[in-house]
Structure 1
Amino acid sequence: MNLSQALDCLKEKGYKHTDKRTDILRLFEKRKGYLSAKDIQFKLKDRYAGLSFDTIYRNLSLFVDLGILEATELDGEKMYQYNCSNHHHHHLICLECGKTETIEACPMAQLPVSHSGFLVTGHKFEIYGCCEHCR
């Protein structure tokens, strides 16, 4: 996903194109990793002095619902990045800079949950650490 695709997605789904939405999405284009609502508010405070967390969270939630962004939780804080793919995958996440790397393999094939009678409706697998640059 990139800014142009994200804006097209908003338009296709009938959502208004606003400067705030564009500027929030542009931050993800520049970052190439996870951002929190706090990061977004800090980076946009000069342009939008009264930008509230409610407005940011409402837009982030919309972007996740539309498949523009994907979310995870790091150290108890919800973090977001552009949805990097339409196929099933997982991530390596640097705890220093937020950079992510895709893992194509899925550990679910190794787990015997299908034999236990448990119906799996989704899962998430992330590996946290420090990227080569931050080490």
Structure 2
Amino acid sequence: MNLKEAMNLLKDKGYKATGKRKDILAYFADVDGYRTAKDLITYLEDNHEGISFDTIYRNLHLYNEMGILETTELNGERHFRMNCTTHHHHHFICNECGKTKEIDVCPMDEVQQTLANYAIEGHKFEIYGLCPTCQSV
């Protein structure tokens, strides 16, 4: 999803397209990988003096519910990134810098055979480690 699509979705759902909301979405559209609420507030503080964690978390939760952002848990903390909607894939996530690499392989074909009598409603497959850049540091 890109910034324009995300803003249009907000408007279509009846939410105001405020400057803060656009700046939050622009941040995620521009960064590679998962980022924390703290990363976001550090980025926004220059242009939105006094912005609160409550505002940040409220918007992050809204964007996640709407499918604009996806989340994962890294080192006990919730991380966010712009939702990848172009095709079904999974991610390698760097534990150090949060950058991601798409993985087009999906283990669900094998899992569905193993769970033939079960109604699978969704899945998430992630691999964690260090990217080449973080390995060389």
Instruction: Give the structure 1 partner of residue 97 of structure 2.
Output: 97
Instruction: Give the structure 2 partner of residue 119 of structure 1.
Output: 119
* Structure 2 residue 46 is the aligned partner of structure 1 residue 46: yes
Instruction: Give the structure 2 partner of residue 35 of structure 1.
Output: 35
- Cα offsets for 1:3-37 (capped at 9, x unmatched): 11111111122210001101111111221211111
Instruction: Give the structure 2 partner of residue 13 of structure 1.
Output: 13
* Structure 2 residue 54 is the aligned partner of structure 1 residue 63: no
One-letter amino acid of the structure 2 residue matched with residue 58 of structure 1: R
For 2:87 and 2:66, how far apart are their aligned partners in 1? 15
* Structure 2 gaps, min length 5: none
For 2:67 and 2:26, how far apart are their aligned partners in 1? 16
**How large is the RMSD of aligned CA atoms in angstroms?**
1.6
> Which is worse superposed, 37-46 or 105-114?
105-114
Cα displacement (A) at 1:88: 2.6
For 2:96 and 2:66, how far apart are their aligned partners in 1? 28
One-letter amino acid of the structure 2 residue matched with residue 23 of structure 1: D
For 1:125 and 1:23, how far apart are their aligned partners in 2? 29
Question: 3-state DSSP class of the match of 2:79?
Answer: strand
For 1:67 and 1:108, how far apart are their aligned partners in 2? 21
Q: TM-score, normalised by structure 1?
A: 0.89
For 2:82 and 2:105, how far apart are their aligned partners in 1? 20
* Structure 1 gaps, min length 5: none
One-letter amino acid of the structure 1 residue matched with residue 47 of structure 2: R
* Structure 2 residue 59 is the aligned partner of structure 1 residue 78: no
For 2:104 and 2:58, how far apart are their aligned partners in 1? 31
Q: TM-score, normalised by structure 2?
A: 0.88
Question: 3-state DSSP class of the match of 2:115?
Answer: helix
Cα displacement (A) at 1:94: 1.1
Give the share of equivalent positions with the same residue, in percent: 54
Which structure 1 residue ranges, 4+ long, deviate > 3 Å from structure 2? Answer: none
Give the number of equivalent residue pairs. Answer: 134
One-letter amino acid of the structure 1 residue matched with residue 98 of structure 2: G
